[in-house]
Amino acid sequence: MSNKPAATLPILPGATLGILGGGQLGRLFTLAARGMGYKVMVLDPDAASPAGQMADVHLRADYSDTAALQQMGEACVAITTEFENVPAASLIELARHCRVSPGAAAVAIVQDRSHEKTWLKDQGFATAPFALLDNETGLEAALAVTGTPALLKVSRFGYDGKGQARVNTLEEARAAFREFGSQPCVLEGFVNLQCEVSVVLARNDAGECALFPVAENRHVNGILDVSIVPARVSESLAGQARTMAREVASQLGYVGIMAVEFFVADGRLMVNEIAPRPHNSGHYTLDACVTDQFEQQVRALVGLPLGDSRLLSPVAMVNILGDRWQNGGPHWDTLLAHPNIKLHLYGKEAARPGRKMGHFNVLDADPAAALALAEAMRDAL
C-alpha cells in the first residue's frame, strides 16, 4: 500500500485526476475535467495522443509499465479509464495508491467477450445465441447452437467490427477461426435486427444511478454511423432498456460511467455489449443534455453527486470517419454554416479509413428534422 492517505470524497477542483488511454474518449474526459478545474494526467504510449494534447501531463508509457503506473498512482487522487483493454493488473496496481473507477473486477469481465457473454447469461440477461470456442474442434457443436449465418468474434481486443467474420458454413467458420490465429472466440447467431439501442449511465458508490436517454444507433460496416435521440422505439421498450442497463450496472457492482448496447429483434431486447467507459453513442450528451457523459465520468470518479442527465433537445449525432479525407478533406464551411450543428474534432493527424476523427451533433426541436439535416450533412461533407 502507498503512504498516501485515502482521498476524502468528494475530491474537489484543483486535484489531479488520471486517465488510462489517450484517445478521443480520454480527450473529452480531459476537457471536461479541466473545464471543472481539475488537473489531468494521461497515460498513453502515443506521442500524438488526442488526450495527451489536452492534458496537464502526458505520461508516454505502456499501460503495464510499472514505473509509470507508480508515478501516476502517486501523482493522482483518482484514476479512470477510457478503454476496456487496459490490463486488470494495472488497475489493481493503481488501486494500491489511489481511488480507481471502474474497478478491476468489472473491467476484467467486460474486456473479454467470452467472460462477458457468460456473465450476462448467468445473470439471466437475454443475449443472441452464442457458444464459446477455444479450439477448432468445437466449431461444429457451436454452429449447432447458433445456426447460420453466424458471426465469429475474437474474445479479446476486437472493436468496431474488427476481429469479426460472418460465416455460413462449417468450412467458412474454420477458415475464419484460423484467420484469427485460432485464439479464443465467441460464435454468435446472426440476429435479424429491427434496430439497435444503447443506454449510457453512471453509478456512484452509494449505488445511485443516473441514466441518459436511450439512443437509437445505426451502424455501417460494424462502426457507429448515426445515433438518434430520443430513440424511435416504444416507451415500454425504452423503459425496459433503462431497467436492464441499471440492473447490469448494479449486478456488476459498478462505480463510474458505462454503456450497455442492445439489439432489438421481434420487439425484444438482447444485450450485445457492455462498455466500462463513456461511449460513442453517448456523444450526443455533449450538446443535448444538462450534464454530458464526460462531466458525469468526472463526477462519478471524484464522488460528487451525479449530474442531471435530462435531454434538452432532440438530437442526431453523426460520426466523421477518416474516409472523408480521401477526396481532399471534409467541407467544414458547409457544416459550420448551420447554427444548430455542433462540431467536435479529436485532433488526430492521420485520417485512415474507418478511423474516428470527430463527430457532430444536430439539435432540433423536431427530431425528424434533426435526423434529416444530419443525414444531409453527412452526405455533403
| Residues forming the site for ligand AMP (CB under 6 A) | 128, 151, 153, 161, 188, 190-191, 193, 196, 219, 222, 272-273
Min CB(63)–ligand AMP separation in Å: 21
- Rounded to an integer, what distance in angstroms lies between the CA atom of residue 344 and that of residue 326? 20
Min CB(188)–ligand AMP separation in Å: 4
Q: Which is nearer to ligand AMP, 220 or 376 (CB)?
A: 220
Min CB(156)–ligand AMP separation in Å: 13
Residue closest to ligand AMP when measured from CB atoms: 191
Alpha-helical runs (H) found in the chain: 24-35, 66-75, 88-95, 104-110, 113-122, 139-146, 170-179, 235-252, 285-288, 293-302, 332-336, 367-380
Q: Which is nearer to ligand AMP, 193 or 290 (CB)?
A: 193
- Rounded to an integer, what distance in angstroms lies between the CA atom of residue 87 and that of residue 337? 44
Entry field: residues in the chain: 381
Contacts of 339 by beta carbon, 8 Å cutoff, 6+ apart: none
The b/e string for 45-65 (b: 16+ C-beta within 10 A; e otherwise) is: eeeebbbbbbbebbbebebeb
Q: Which is nearer to ligand AMP, 127 or 204 (CB)?
A: 127
Q: Quick count: other Cβ atoms within 10 Å of Cβ 95?
A: 16
Q: Which is nearer to ligand AMP, 56 or 172 (CB)?
A: 172
Min CB(259)–ligand AMP separation in Å: 11
Q: Which is nearer to ligand AMP, 204 or 227 (CB)?
A: 227
Please provide the DSSP assignment of 115-137 as one string. HHHHHHHHTT-----EEEESSGG
Q: Which is nearer to ligand AMP, 34 or 115 (CB)?
A: 115
Min CB(314)–ligand AMP separation in Å: 22
Contacts of 39 by beta carbon, 8 Å cutoff, 6+ apart: 14, 15, 16, 17, 56, 57
Min CB(215)–ligand AMP separation in Å: 12
Min CB(119)–ligand AMP separation in Å: 16
Phi, psi (degrees; rounded to nearest 5) at 292: -95, 170
Q: Which is nearer to ligand AMP, 92 or 145 (CB)?
A: 145
CA-nearest of 131, 126, 180 to 157 is 180
Q: Which is nearer to ligand AMP, 117 or 378 (CB)?
A: 117
Min CB(54)–ligand AMP separation in Å: 27
CA-nearest of 263, 252, 259 to 279 is 259
Q: How far is CA 175 from CA 7, 132, 160, 267, in A?
A: 52, 17, 21, 34
Min CB(26)–ligand AMP separation in Å: 20
- Rounded to an integer, what distance in angstroms lies between the CA atom of residue 204 and that of residue 342? 30
**Cα Rg of the chain (Å, integer):** 21
Phi, psi (degrees; rounded to nearest 5) at 112: -120, 115
Contacts of 191 by beta carbon, 8 Å cutoff, 6+ apart: 128, 263, 265, 270
Min CB(96)–ligand AMP separation in Å: 33
Q: Which three cell numbers stand for residue 53?
A: 494534447
Q: Which is nearer to ligand AMP, 158 or 347 (CB)?
A: 158
Q: What phi-psi label fits residue 281: left (phi over 0), alpha (psi between -120 and 50 degrees) or beta?
A: alpha
Q: Which is nearer to ligand AMP, 90 or 217 (CB)?
A: 217
